[in-house]
Structure 1
Amino acid sequence: MPKSRRAKIVSLTKVAKKTREQKGAMMQEVQANADKWKYCWLFEVGSMRNAHLKTVRRLWKDSARIFFGRAAVMAKALGTTPAEEHRLGLHKLSKQIKGQVGIMFTDTEPQEVIDWFDDFKQPDFARAGNIASRTIILPAGPVMRHHSDPPEPFPHNEEPQLRKLGLSTTMNKGVPTLQVPHKLCEKGKALTAEQTQLLKLIGERMVTFRVGLLARWDSPTGEVVQHSGNAISIEEKGDEGGDGSDDEGHMSE
């Protein structure tokens, strides 16, 4: 007997959309922190990696409160017009909350915040579509992995994978070997999936996770100060990857 056309398989892994109550609770949480802290920073992220963003949260958990994602909800919580703003001047910051950005409430003085984020950089592996920041040429001879110090050659059982990813290797005394140099990637050109896999296998980190500060709201005056000293480039923004949301859309303690 043929299956009924009415029979449908529903995936239990599908994530339900946030309810109005959940969004309302998040707005209240944002507003409560706006009442509590002296400063509110607007920031963006380059070469987005959720693990590194969680590190930022952990390092600031005792002196700040961070929200990331759900830009429309955060903007509405702060208020987008003078009549709607939760506190004086917040609408000037709220109007800038667009796209993949976050806000951080803190009492830490601005220069200390600026210096901290200027120093916080985490190298990581590139993803397909990223722009190569440098040219990598693998020399003739054994294909080396740089995860260890000193580098060591790939084991024989990984030679088929290296060939599948585009390397013309041969076995020499049980070691995958290149007879001629191989240009793995070229600076300024987009990386393919095969190139990024090779870069990861050999241990070359091509991108850097970092946080760019955009603007700061000061509660005592209600003024918003623009900041572009460590702006994120278009190439870095292209690596957001959509994995930055933590706790279904916001990142907090």
Structure 2
Amino acid sequence: MPLKPEKKKAYFEKLENAFHQYSKILIVGVDNVGSKQMQDIRFTLRGKAEVILGKNSLMRFVLRKIVKEIPALGQLNKYLKGNVGFVFTDEDPAEIREILTSFRRKAPAKAGTIAPCDVVVEPMSTGLAPNQVGVLQVLDIPVKVARGAVEITEAVKIITKGDIVGPSEANLLSMIKIEPFFYGLEVCMIYDDGEMYSPDVLDLTDEDYLRAVKTAVTNMTALALGGHIPSELAAPHIFREVFRNILSVVAETEITFPAVAELKEYLADPSKFVVAAPVEEEKAEEKAADAEEEEEEESSSEGGFGGLF
């Protein structure tokens, strides 16, 4: 039913104010979300975020107006497809998504709906009578009859994510009392101060960011070295290679300077390359000597008092 003019005006003002007030917007899918579920979400988000739903045509109407003031919001238009809404906030989007996820509810597989995930039936006793074995055989599920009930003997995927649930699959899952789906506000995209990104970004950890930075630094250094491009990253490697070349020249000529004085000494007197025994070996010998002394002291002590007992 279309909104009355006064309600439509109030809706436009509410949505326009939200675009001005908040810096972050979560675009959420609202398929199969019940009114009680939505009420609980709104109550929990109070003070942290504001949920605004509505027809896509109405949301686009407001966006066309607001884009003149905030051009970056024009990116939202292409995501207004299907049954979606906005969650406005200034809080951490990861925290808001966690709250939304906590309100996901189990639901049965209904014929004609699009599966939000794969459904795999594990080996189990279905509790069905032997005369109902045909329900499972229609779906090519391996079964056997044991102790007066039908048992599924192997794990079988009967629904694939994105497929339309058929009546046979819906009927079977209902009979064996499996509710495979979870429904709630699903975050599709996030607008954050002019930038758009996928909710997958919220799953990245500090280690992921550090690994990405290290990889980028390594690639940039390799590019600079390969292309002979002087840069701050490549400089240490370039200087090291230059100095190595200088040492090669010095080793073959009479050229010398303070930084290579020690090298020239070693080349002039190869005996300097002979090093002393490792420190660890000396320490081991010292410990062995100390142990022998302790044994001698103990034996002498026992010899002095042995005649008293």
TM-score, length of structure 2 as denominator length: 0.47
**Structure 1 position 27, deviation (Å):** 0.6
Q: 1:200 to 1:215 in 2, by over 3 A?
A: same
**Structure 1 position 195, deviation (Å):** 1.9
Q: Is the 8 A contact 1:41 1:213 kept in 2?
A: no
**Structure 1 position 212, deviation (Å):** 1.6
For structure 1, list consecutive stretches of 5 or more residues without a partner in the other structure. Answer: 1-15, 145-153, 219-223, 232-253
Q: Which moved more, 1:57-66 or 1:112-121?
A: 112-121
**Aligned equivalent of 1:39:** 23
Choose which of 183, 188, 197 in structure 1 pairs with 2:160.
Answer: 188
**Aligned equivalent of 2:90:** 107
Deviations 1:10-60 (A, max 9, x none): xxxxxx33233332221112123334x333413132763325444422321
RMSD, aligned α-carbons: 4.1
The question of 1:27 aligning with 2:1 is answered no
Deviations 1:70-113 (A, max 9, x none): 12212222335743x4xx34642442352222111223234433
Q: Which amino acid in the other structure matches residue 166 of structure 1?
A: V
Q: 1:106 to 1:91 in 2, by over 3 A?
A: closer
Kindly indicate which of the two structures has a greater share of residues assigned to strand. 1
Cα distance in 2 for partners of 1:179, 1:121 equals 30
**Aligned equivalent of 1:147:** none
Cα distance in 2 for partners of 1:207, 1:101 equals 19
**Structure 1 position 227, deviation (Å):** 1.8
Q: Is the 8 A contact 2:106 2:183 kept in 1?
A: yes
Q: Is the 8 A contact 2:123 2:151 kept in 1?
A: no
Q: 1:205 to 1:217 in 2, by over 3 A?
A: same
Q: 1:229 to 1:143 in 2, by over 3 A?
A: same
Identity of aligned residues (%): 14
Q: Is the 8 A contact 2:126 2:151 kept in 1?
A: no
Q: Give the 3-state SS of the residue equivalent to 1:186 in structure 2.
A: strand
Choose which of 68, 74, 80 in structure 1 pairs with 2:59.
Answer: 74
Choose which of 62, 68, 92 in structure 1 pairs with 2:47.
Answer: 62
Q: Is the 8 A contact 1:125 1:206 kept in 2?
A: yes
Q: Give the 3-state SS of the residue equivalent to 2:50 in structure 1.
A: strand
Q: 1:113 to 1:180 in 2, by over 3 A?
A: closer
Cα distance in 2 for partners of 1:101, 1:18 equals 18
Q: Is the 8 A contact 2:16 2:66 kept in 1?
A: no
For structure 2, list consecutive stretches of 5 or more residues without a partner in the other structure. Answer: 138-142, 202-309
Q: 1:91 to 1:165 in 2, by over 3 A?
A: farther
Q: 1:110 to 1:185 in 2, by over 3 A?
A: closer
The question of 1:208 aligning with 2:182 is answered yes
Q: Is the 8 A contact 2:67 2:73 kept in 1?
A: yes
**Structure 1 position 215, deviation (Å):** 2.4
The question of 1:228 aligning with 2:198 is answered yes
Cα distance in 1 for partners of 2:152, 2:63 equals 60
Q: Which amino acid in the other structure matches residue 49 of structure 1?
A: V
Q: 1:227 to 1:113 in 2, by over 3 A?
A: farther
Cα distance in 1 for partners of 2:92, 2:152 equals 55
Kindly indicate which of the two structures has a greater share of residues assigned to helix. 2
Q: Give the 3-state SS of the residue equivalent to 2:119 in structure 1.
A: coil
